[in-house]
Chain A
Amino acid sequence: MTTTTTVIQQPMAPSALAQRRNIWRGLWRFTARRPVGAVAGLLCILLILIAIFAHQLAPSAPDALFPAAKLKPPSAAHPFGTDNLFRDMFSRIIVGSQISLGVGFASVFVGTLLGTFFGLISGYARDWADMAINRMIDTVMAFPPLILAIFFLSIFHATFLTVSLAIGIIIAPVTARIVRSAVLGVINLQYIEAAQALGSSHTRIMFRHVLPNVSAPIIVIASIQIGNAILAEAALSFLSLGIATDAHPSWGKMLQDTRSVWQQGWWTAVIPGVAISVAVLAFNMFGDALRDALDPRLRGS
């Protein structure tokens, strides 16, 4: 073991060290067993980095005009061509990743937070709280998903928060159901009983004992939902219900902007569509591989 020297040089709690080693070993095993998932994971990281450094990476501002270039096919100067409004598509795609991925992540975050909270309570408390939360979930699920988001955005003015909430509410009930059934699976195990016997409060048991043991399905369902959230954001932007503007485009809005000229310029239709599909595919495949690795019960489903 090469780590022994490190231990001598900088003392570390043995558990923390073991944990760190576990993470690296886990990552290595994941890569070795699921190479496709690992490649997809790398692609996801790349996409996230592009979104974070979008303004540094984009060769021009997304709304900069190139008067000589109206609807020009891809070339050295404009790798993805220009659109009908004299703008560089490459810069717009890069900056567009911010809203597409940003809203995607934010809505999954909101949905997972809500879903985990209600799922935990409903699985742990049972009785009337479980009943009430289940009826709440039924009620939200009574709305067709995209229509719920559209309805929500027709009531609240579209901002980053409201769009993320609109998509997050679609995600939350699914997460809540999965968390609930996972909680029901661990609630009768001995360590929970032991914690109860020691006199731990319900809140402590829920968050310190139950939550860590249902974290795998939560991570899995969240990663699987990211792709769907990106698709939902694209659809809302395409319907002009999103938050994209000329200076801050999103991939769905780019498709809407150029819809009238798709026939004259194939790249205006194909490139944003491919950008959406590649991003969604990367997150879907990563989520799939993660599910196989973390949750053997769901393997291959």
Chain B
Amino acid sequence: MTKYIVKRLLLAVLVLWVVSIIVFSAVRIIPGDVCKIVTAAPDVDAKQCASIKHGLGLDKPVVTQYLRYMGGVLHGDFGTALISKRRVWPEIRTRIPLTLELAVLATAFATVLALPIGIISAIRRDRPADYGLRLLTIGWLSIPGFWLGTMLIIYPAKWWGYSSPPGYTDIWIDPAKNLQQLYLPAIALGLALSASLARITRSSMLEVLRQDYVRTARAKGLVGRVVVTRHALKNAMIPVITLFAVQFGFLLGGTVVLESIFSLPGLGSLTLASVLIKDYPVVQGLVLFFATVLVLINLLVDISYAWFDPRIRYA
């Protein structure tokens, strides 16, 4: 087990190292002049530009720049934003709770919706209920989240004069208001996730329901409900958990769009804003941060599998 964990850990570090090189060099080949972005002027004279570049350390060789940057990152220093001149890491850190909460709410909403749908669909396989639910989920997969989000802002306001309180309130200050502000974007974000969760729950349940031990449980005379929830569901959850890890990346991508639509000051809206104004230190920091989170989540999922299922350790 220890050997397996160490191997996974080393691989994760390797991947993150390559990611950091890609992100760093990608940002360096960006077209457009840093001086123009910093000063927001069409023309910058050479002398001023040289001093700006010196200030940013861009006159050093690229390898030196990389080593310096990574040295900073390892100490929690992601540099300074080009335009707002704020430190990048505090800017990212203060926005984590919002995006995290949004992701958690969306996942919770998706799970609550998806599990019953997937289970019913599997038990009633090839009956009208199954067809109906499958049609419903494939339909949900086809709705663009950003469109749904905007509709959720506009139409309740138009029809019932309802709108959630503007802006964002910290959950520790006013939880009720916080939830009112976040549940609509969470629904828009979670709907597509719930569709793919329901589909995988269905197929995983079907797989498990065919197994001998389920037949044994039925043969013992257990009620159908007990067989499904106690015997089948638990074992059907492994592929579902894998999907959570895969879908977390999509969820982060979705926050870019939805936070911007709902004007929420999270990581997603910061990503979009920094890309649009070409504030590269911020973009670089955010992409590195997202990649780290994703790699860590996959690492945890891998390790937890090996923990639960010893066969994986030796694969």
Contact = CB atoms under 8 A, between A and B. Distances in A.
Given A139-B22, A142-B19, A280 B142 contact: yes
A259 B150 contact: yes
A157, A263, A269, A300, most chain B CB atoms within 10 A: A300
Interface in B128-168: 138-139, 141-147, 150-151, 154, 157-158
A155 B26 CA distance: 7
A255 B149 CA distance: 12
A135 B154 contact: no
A146 B250 contact: yes
A239 B260 contact: yes
Contact of A263 (B31, B145, B158): B158
Contacts, number: 134
B30 interface: yes
B1 interface: no
Nearest to B19: A142
Given A285-B138, A288-B138, A139 B275 contact: no
Interface in B191-230: 199-200, 202-203, 206
Interface string A124-163: 0000000000010011011111110011011101000000
B275 A135 contact: no
A146 B147 contact: no
A231 interface: yes
B146 A235 contact: yes
A41 interface: no
A51 to B, nearest CB: 18
A284 B158 contact: no
A151 B16 CA distance: 17
A281 B144 contact: no
Given A138-B11, A145-B249, A150-B256, A276 B144 contact: yes
Contacts of A80: none
Interface residues of A, number: 41
Nearest to B143: A277
Contact of B154 (A235, A269, A277, A280): A269
A235 B144 contact: yes
A117 interface: no
Interface residues of B, number: 53
Interface stretch (B51-59, B67-75, B88-96, B289-297): B289-297
Contacts of B206: 300
Interface string A286-301: 0010000000000011
Leading 3 A-B pairs by shortest Cβ distance: A146-B253, A301-B203, A280-B142
Given A151-B23, A273-B144, A280-B144, 14 more contacts: A135-B15, A139-B15, A139-B18, A141-B249, A143-B290, A144-B249, A145-B253, A147-B287, A155-B30, A239-B257, A259-B150, A277-B144, A280-B142, A284-B141
19 contacts: A139-B15, A139-B22, A142-B295, A143-B291, A144-B253, A146-B250, A146-B253, A147-B287, A150-B272, A154-B275, A155-B27, A155-B30, A234-B147, A238-B146, A240-B276, A263-B158, A277-B139, A277-B143, A300-B206
Interface of A: 135, 138-139, 141-147, 150-151, 153-155, 157, 227, 231, 234-235, 238-241, 252, 255, 259, 262-263, 269, 273, 276-278, 280-281, 284-285, 288, 300-301
